[in-house]
Amino acid sequence: MLRGSPERELAASWEADAAAAAAAKSQAAEAEEQLGVDAGAAGEPERPAREEQPKAAGPAPVPARPRAAEEGDARPARRPPPAPPLIPPRPARTLCHLVKARSRGRGYRRGSGSLRPVTVDSSKARTSLDALKISLRQLRWKEFPFGRRLPCDIYWHGVSFHDNDILSGQVNKFPGMTEMVRKITLSRALRIMQNLFPEEYNFYPRSWILPDEFQLFVAQVRMVKDGDRSWKPTFIVKPDGGCQGDGIYLIKDPSDVRLTGTLQSRPAVVQEYICKPLLIDKLKFDIRLYVLLKSLDPLEIYIAKDGLSRFCTEPYQEPNSQNLHHVFMHLTNYSLNIHSGKFIHSDSASTGSKRTFSSILCKLSSKGVDIKKVWSDIISLVIKTVIALTPELKVFYQSDIPTGRPGPTCFQILGFDILLMKNLKPMLLEVNANPSMRIEHEYELSPGVFENIPSLVDEEVKVAVIRDTLRLMDPLKKKKEKHFPDICMDRKHRVPPVSDRMSSSKLKGSSLSVARSQHPENPFPGKEDPGCELTGDPDSNPEAHLPSICLKQVFPKYAKQFNYLRLVDRMANLFIRFLGIKGTMKLGPTGFRTFIRNCKLSSSSLSMAAVDILYIDITRRWNSVTLDQRDSGMCLQAFVEAFFFLAQRKFKMLPLHEQVASLIDLCEYHLSLLDEKRLVCGRSRRPQSSPPQEVNPTTQPAAGSPAPRMIGANKLSHSRHALS
Ligand code: ADP
């Protein structure tokens, strides 16, 4: 088993790490080839987009402490002095050069003959503003810090999709994402996948929802204990919607759950506690990985090659009744540990209480750990988790941005919190819809007096994530590629890393500065990447000054390995098809009946009366446990439960996932026949000479009537014509 390295290794120089990094990078690249996996990635502390919740009362709460300034906090943070210019001033150029630059580079685009930069509305960026500004300067895009009357290409929101009425462009949040990653919703979504694919989804600790499943929790724990007397579990109770360790406590027995008071008003998730985490320097740590959900349909996922590791500040011991309340030993939250006297601020990426994930991988690699395997496990955890989240996200999406109505397209950076177990298996702790993009940290000048100072480690990782997300979402990219075919996206490190932009006196002796100057891939302070010189004039390539993109595509790249898991996604497509009214997220009884009829699921053993009873039973139960009481009807999770029930009845003897897959195949088959029938009817009814008609979303035909082909498979599944 791998153990934490001794204390003195904390002070080890970057040179050693850099050497290991090179090895780590090449291994990671190999890993990609092997499983179909890329290297990269790590993470940081949750900055809630949600409001702070009251703490749970009871025996072992996280102690009330002053909080580090976090996302959503109203507390104004003292700003650090403005950062030095990111792009070194260019030498004086001739008029000819300038004209060329205006017309070809510097973020200015051709659009119907005129030139314009990509425009970004940053008025709602909140605490991600500093990192966003740096990114925009690097990209030479145009920022609108107070918004704009005309539409922008991109809207950057600090918190949620619903900050604004946006009718076009792209927004960096998906509707419903905040709801989807709440602890209870995430646990439910993952549980459905665990029921279908227990082996594949064993990266999420067994969880129960309180108070609803308290009796189930008690019964299941008792059952396992009865079967294995040596099992001495620990559980962690986490309030729903909480963040930064808020209200979290550990228990040894179900009877220790605080059932009264807060639990009724604030439900929670109780989860098996991972007792044997991997330790470094005897400390527990977790990983914050940044994941870009670039598109929902088709699914596109990217993972950042680096992230952050957040360390506890008290040496770890397996939980026992004496240490159960030791927050600094068991919880890795930055917002908690920053208040420990043992928190180490460091400008080095490989030391201190917050480090880059790549530095952890280097360390592990130098100890002989197979980091290719670690990476491929992490990538598969991320893809599987996103696969669990997307079905309901699609329901939110069609409700907020119905097909045929004007609206923006969406993308989102997610923060994945992952714990490596002692055996190096990654376990998912949670997903954050609004990972902190702050690039400063609190520094305690004297007891109780804090100042915000720039955090090099945060800036290094987060600016790259935001900048490269923007590059991937560049709305004019296709045009750019047409106009600048000589673009060299994979040039390495053309922007000096943060450390190189700090004054040398400030970084004197810092391991980061040593690291950068000696890093084999760092072209500074040397000459430009010779590959770029092929373009002749750097102005001919608007991204010539940028480093290679730090986000690696993992889906659809590895779709082949994971597509079989997307059963609930296919169920969601059926669900959406029968939803009927635009804007709704719940299926009415008529919609459910139509689903049964159109898919030919009723029979002598399943009458329509039985279908109605099934609908009422399941819907009533789900409506009593879900928080969303906005409209009545059957939510997606209830539909999934009904679907499982129908699949089990129809395809007895098979394992659940095969039963479900068979029923989906059957439904899709009948619906495709129906669609074809409609198409044929439509053709025969249409006068020969008339051209194909585009579907008018407000007058879509009812079920049984033709669905014109040109609306496409995707739109077809979103169309509401199935209701009759
Ligand atoms: P929050 O959103 O409040 O930060 P998390 O789910 O991230 O809640 O949990 C907070 C911290 O508790 C994590 O960073 C991790 O250190 C620890 N933790 C959470 N769940 C587990 C678990 N199942 N096993 C071990 N440690 C856990």
Nearest atom, ligand 1, residue 312 CA: 16
pLDDT at residue 268, rounded to an integer: 95
Give the nearest ligand 1 atom to 432 CA.
Answer: 2
Report phi then psi at 651, rounded to 5: -120, 65
- Whether residue 98 has pLDDT greater than 80: no
The confidence score (pLDDT) of residue 669 equals: 98
Written as one string, the DSSP assignment of 501-530 is HS-HHHHTT-HHHHHHHH-TT--TTSPPPH
333 lines ligand 1 (CB under 6 A): yes
pLDDT of residue 703: 32
CA-to-CA dists, residue 524 to 170, 197, 307, 612, 657, angstroms: 35, 49, 23, 70, 54
Mutate which of 248, 275, 436 for ligand 1? The one with the most ligand atoms within 8 Å of its CB, which is: 248
Question: 3-class DSSP state for residue 675?
Answer: helix
Pocket test for ligand 1, best of 429, 430, 432, 434 (most atoms within 8 A of CB): 429
More confident of the two residues 627 and 384: 384
Query: What's the rounded mean pLDDT across residues 497-523?
Result: 34
User: Higher model confidence: residue 261 or residue 295?
Assistant: 295
Is 179 close to ligand 1, i.e. is its CB under 6 Å away?
A: no
Confidence label for 629 from pLDDT (cuts 50, 70 and 90): low
Closest CA to 166 of 145, 150, 146, 144: 150
**Distance between CA 427 and CA 277 in Å, rounded?**
10
| Omega before 298 within 30 of 0, i.e. cis | yes
Nearest CA to ligand 1 atom 23: 273
Coil/strand/helix, residue 218? helix
User: 532: pLDDT confidence band, cut at 50, 70 and 90?
Assistant: very low
Cβ–ligand 1 contact at 238 (below 6 Å): yes
| Ligand 1 atom closest to 271 (CA) | 23
CB 384 within 8 A of CB 565: yes
Which residues on adjacent β-strands are paired with residue 421?
Answer: 277
Residues 403-413: tens digit of each pLDDT: 777 788 999 99
625 membership: H or E segment, kind and range:
helix 608-625
Distance between Cα 285 and ligand 1 center (Å) = 10
Nearest by Cα to 41 from 494, 351, 380: 380
* Distance from Cα 430 to the centre of ligand 1, integer Å: 8
Q: Which of 45, 529, 546, 493 is nearest to 287 (CA)?
A: 45
* Cβ(205) – ligand 1 distance below 6 Å: yes
CA of 242 from ligand 1 middle (Å) equals: 11
DSSP structural state of residue 144 = E
Residue-wise pLDDT for 57-89, tens only, equals: 333 334 433 344 333 333 333 333 334 333 333
Tokens 């197979």 appear where?
370
Q: Quick check: CB of 332 below 6 Å from ligand 1?
A: yes
Check residues 587 and 491 and name the one with the higher pLDDT.
587
In short, whether 246's Cβ falls inside 6 Å of ligand 1 is yes
**pLDDT value for 115:** 65
Amino acid 404: pLDDT? 74
Whether 12 shows a pLDDT value over 60: the answer reads: no
258 versus 717: which is more confidently predicted? 258
**Span from the CA of 335 to the centroid of ligand 1 (angstroms):** 12
Q: Are strands 551-555 and 300-304 parallel, antiparallel or unpaired?
A: antiparallel
pLDDT at residue 545, rounded to an integer: 86
- CB of 38 sitting under 6 A from ligand 1: no
- E-state strands within 526-668: 551-555
Q: How far is the CA of 182 from the centre of ligand 1 (A)?
A: 13
44 lines ligand 1 (CB under 6 A): no
Measured in angstroms, how far is the CA atom of residue 274 from the centroid of ligand 1?
9
Please name the helix (run of DSSP H) or strand (run of DSSP E) that holds residue 426, with its range, or none: strand 426-432
Ligand 1 neighbour 434 (Cβ under 6 A): no
Q: Any idea which of 278-287, 494-503, 572-581, 677-686 has the lowest mean pLDDT? A: 494-503
> Does position 697 have pLDDT exceeding 50, yes or no?
no
Tell which atom from ligand 1 comes closest to the C-alpha of 332.
16
Pick the residue whose CA is nearest to atom 27 on ligand 1.
Answer: 273
What integer pLDDT is reported at residue 315 of this predicted model? Answer: 98
424 in Cβ contact with 376 (< 8 Å): no
576 near 394, Cβ under 8 Å? yes
Q: How many residues does the chain have?
A: 724
**The pLDDT of residue 501 is above 60:** no
Beta strands in 224-369 (DSSP E): 235-239, 249-251, 268-272, 279-280, 283-295, 300-304, 308-311, 354-356
What was the pLDDT predicted at 497? 42
The dihedral through the CA atoms of 327, 328, 332, 337 has a sign that is: positive
Q: Indicate the pLDDT class of residue 443, thresholds 50, 70 and 90.
A: confident
**Cα(175) to centroid of ligand 1, in Å?**
25
46 lines ligand 1 (CB under 6 A): yes
What share of the chain in percent tops pLDDT 90? 56
**Strand 283-295 with 279-280, pairing:** antiparallel
429: CA distance to ligand 1 center in Å? 6
Between 216 and 704, the more confident residue is: 216
Provide the pLDDT for residue 6: 30
My answer on whether omega of the bond before 211 falls inside 30° of 0, hence cis, is yes
**Hey, which of 250, 333, 340, 427 would you mutate to test ligand 1's pocket, going by the most ligand atoms within 8 Å of its Cβ?**
333
Of 180, 642, 171, the residue nearest 385 (C-alpha): 180
Residues in Cβ contact with 355 at an 8 Å cutoff, skipping those fewer than 6 apart? 308, 309, 311, 346, 348, 349, 457
**421 Cβ below 6 A of ligand 1:** no
Is pLDDT above 50 for 464? yes
More confident call, 150 vs 22: 150
Among the atoms of ligand 1, which is closest to the Cα of residue 333?
14
Integer Cα distance of 219 and 315 in angstroms: 34
Structure tokens at 305: 């090659």
pLDDT at 627: 59
Q: Is the CB of 335 under 6 A from ligand 1?
A: no
Does the C-beta of 245 come closer than 6 Å to ligand 1? yes
Determine the pLDDT at residue 686: 62
Separate counts of helices (H) and strands (E) for the chain = 24, 21
Residue 91 pLDDT > 80: no
Output the residue whose Cα is nearest ligand 1's atom 2.
243
Atom of ligand 1 nearest to the CA of 46: 4
Ligand 1 mean position to 159 CA, how many Å? 22
Pocket test for ligand 1, best of 275, 331, 425 (most atoms within 8 A of CB): 331
Residue 245 Cα to ligand 1 midpoint, Å, equals 7
Give the pair of three-digit tokens for residue 583: 């804007």
Q: Which helix (H) or strand (E) holds 381?
A: helix 371-400
Distance CA 26, CA 510 (A): 26
The predicted structure's pLDDT at residue 165: 74
Q: Is the pLDDT of residue 291 over 60?
A: yes
Which of ligand 1's atoms lies nearest the C-alpha of 245?
3
Calculate mean pLDDT across residues 513-533: 31
Percent of the chain with pLDDT over 70: 68
Direct distance between the N- and C-terminal alpha carbons of the chain, in angstroms, rounded to an integer: 62
Helix (H, G, I), strand (E, B) or coil at 651: coil
Higher pLDDT among residues 360 and 28, named by residue? 360
Going from the Cα of 54 to the center of ligand 1, the distance in angstroms, rounded, reads 18
- For residue range 336-345, list pLDDT tens digits in order: 999 899 999 8
pLDDT at res. 261: 66
Q: Which atom of ligand 1 is nearest to the CA of 45?
A: 4
Give CA–CA dist 497/18, Å, rounded: 15
> What is the atom index within ligand 1 of the atom nearest the CA of 274?
24
HEC assignment per residue over 442-494: EEEEECCEEEEEECHHHHHHHHHHHHHHHHHHCCCHHHHHHHCCCCCCCCCCC
**Selection from 356, 411, 296 nearest residue 550 by Cα:** 356
For the CA of 246, the closest atom of ligand 1 is 3
Cβ-proximal residues to 76 (8 Å cutoff; 6+ apart), any chain:
none
**541-566 average pLDDT score:** 93
Q: Give yes or no for residue 274 CB within 6 A of ligand 1.
A: yes
- The CA 184 to ligand 1 mean position distance, Å, reads 14
Of 594, 278, 617, the closest CA to residue 419 belongs to 278
Between these two residues, 675 and 683, which has the higher pLDDT value?
Answer: 675
Helices 14-31, 511-518: crossing angle, 10 deg rounding: 50
Report the nearest-CA residue for atom 11 of ligand 1.
331
Query: Using CA positions, which residue lies closest to atom 19 of ligand 1?
Result: 429
| pLDDT tens, residue by residue, 48-59 | 433 333 333 333
- Average pLDDT for the chain: 76
Query: Ligand 1 mean position to 331 CA, how many Å?
Result: 6
- pLDDT-derived band at 97 (thresholds 50, 70, 90) equals very low
pLDDT of residue 66: 39
pTM of the shown model? 0.77
Q: Mean pLDDT over residues 595-617, rounded?
A: 96
The strand pairing partners of 124, in sequence order, are 157
- Please tell me the predicted confidence (pLDDT) of residue 406: 78
Omega cis (within 30) before 556: yes
The four Cα atoms 319, 321, 323, 325 give a dihedral, to 10 degrees, of: 100
The pLDDT of residue 40 is above 70: no
C-beta 275 within 6 A of ligand 1: no
Could you tell me which residues are beta bridge partners of residue 235? 251, 272
